[in-house]
Amino acid sequence: MTEAREDVRRDDRYATREKYASLVGIRRQARQNLSDQVWNYMHCGTGDEVTARANVSAFDAYVFETPLFAGISNPDTGTRVLGRDLSFPAFTAPFGGGETLFHPDGMLAVGRAAHAAGIAQMVPVAAGHSLEEVAGASPAAAVFQMTFCGEETAVIDMMHRAKAAGYGHICVTYSPIRQWRERMMEDRFSMPGAGTPSNFGPGKSDDAMLRELLDFTRPRWDWAKAARVIAEAPLPCIVKGVNSRVDARAALKAGAVGLYVSNYGGRTLDREPASITTLAEVRDEAGPDVPIVFDSGIRRGSDIATALALGADAVCLGRIAALGLAADGEAGVKRTLDLLRDEFWTTLGHLGCSRVSDLSPAVFRSMP
């Protein structure tokens, strides 16, 4: 019996010399590396965290149809979105205001890994490294995210800085009031020095724009003011936080060249709908030609296929990329991206999609 067993050829499809065999090990390592406080900061939502959980679980309701013999063995995962060639349809999401707590190289590591994996990066204004430092670290830095607040001229000045540094698009966000994050309240979490954003003046805490960003008694913005700034912007703008037909219409009317469907991973207001459930409505309103990126709940390659089938041109990777950063810096993000791309590739193959543009609602057997 023993001899016979030795003859059995081992199936080594899953054997790998890589440090992390799958995303499970990356998550495990990230958990080991982070304190409870920082882990909670990464994962928290708001209120009861219903939306943060629903963002992930809502994907389960989209069930694929896989007709026998329809699958193919060599799908092409490449695409082009917002003027960037991508090895698979993904950007790293703008996650800031503490990402250097996950790893001191923060957005520098994320950008280098994105470049090595052949995708592009969205860089937050609240990053621990300046927008110029991140752009200098890798050519992946494609989109600069900034929150609309303060004086219009200061916002436009910052956009000029982003253009001079080589970014191709601005991602506009807005937040009228602070968020109710109970895990952080319970942890009495306060951002240590390492989490201080670098994009502001030398004294930072004296910088008028940073003060505005953190001061929620500031004057509100509205679509008219947003439209004025978008019209004067030196770079094309996409608007993040579009989760309805009404907002899609308003953002396009205000001059946005693209839409970003997201509820910020459930970190803004609890009991908003899971983002994946609003995507098809936004695509329907925008029509076929407006670029749409999507995030909130992407955890694996098949989630990317689901979002594209429902109308996204690409996804943004938030917590899943942050876990790679926390596990192993640049190498951890790179491995995360490679695993996501490879699973997306197998998903396309099983669905019989030879290219990204073949994904449509026809891949589903049932939808909620």
Which range, of 148-156, 161-169, 315-323, 358-366, touches ligand FMN by CB under 6 A? Answer: 315-323
Near ligand FMN by CB under 6 A: residue from 96, 118, 195, 311: 96
Near ligand FMN by CB under 6 A: residue from 111, 128, 297, 332: 297
Say if residues 144 and 162 touch (Cβ distance below 8 Å): yes
Instruction: Give the span between the Cα atoms of 114 and 118, in whole angstroms.
Output: 6
Subset of 104-133 contacting ligand FMN (CB under 6 A): 124, 126
Near ligand FMN by CB under 6 A: residue from 295, 328, 338, 343: 295
* Max CA pair span of the chain: 80
Instruction: Give the span between the Cα atoms of 90 and 84, in whole angstroms.
Output: 10
Supply 239's token pair.
């608007």
Does 150 contact ligand FMN by CB under 6 A? Answer: no
Which range, of 91-99, 219-227, 245-253, 347-355, touches ligand FMN by CB under 6 A? Answer: 91-99
Near ligand FMN by CB under 6 A: residue from 75, 89, 97, 332: 97
Does 42 contact ligand FMN by CB under 6 A? Answer: yes
State the DSSP code for 258.
E
Subset of 235-254 contacting ligand FMN (CB under 6 A): 240
CB of 134 to ligand FMN, least distance (A): 13
Does 294 contact ligand FMN by CB under 6 A? Answer: no
Task: Indicate the helix (H) or strand (E) that contains 141.
Answer: strand 141-147
Instruction: Give the span between the Cα atoms of 151 and 131, in whole angstroms.
Output: 20
Say if residues 330 and 336 touch (Cβ distance below 8 Å): no
Residue 338 identity: D
Does 59 contact ligand FMN by CB under 6 A? Answer: no
* Cβ closest to ligand FMN, residue 168 vs residue 352: 168
Residue 292's φ and ψ, nearest 5 degrees, are: -125, 125
* Cβ closest to ligand FMN, residue 75 vs residue 266: 266
Supply 306's token pair.
């689901």
- The residue number whose beta carbon is nearest to ligand FMN equals 318
Say if residues 51 and 272 touch (Cβ distance below 8 Å): yes
Q: Which residues are CB-neighbours of 7 under 8 A, at least 6 positions away?
A: none
Near ligand FMN by CB under 6 A: residue from 111, 118, 128, 265: 265
Near ligand FMN by CB under 6 A: residue from 143, 155, 239, 322: 322
The burial of 361, by beta-carbon neighbours within 10 Å (0-12 exposed, 13-18 middle, 19 or more buried), is given as exposed
Summarize as ranges the residues that interact with ligand FMN (CB under 6 A). Answer: 42, 55, 93-98, 124, 126, 145, 173, 240, 262, 264-265, 267, 295-298, 318-319, 322
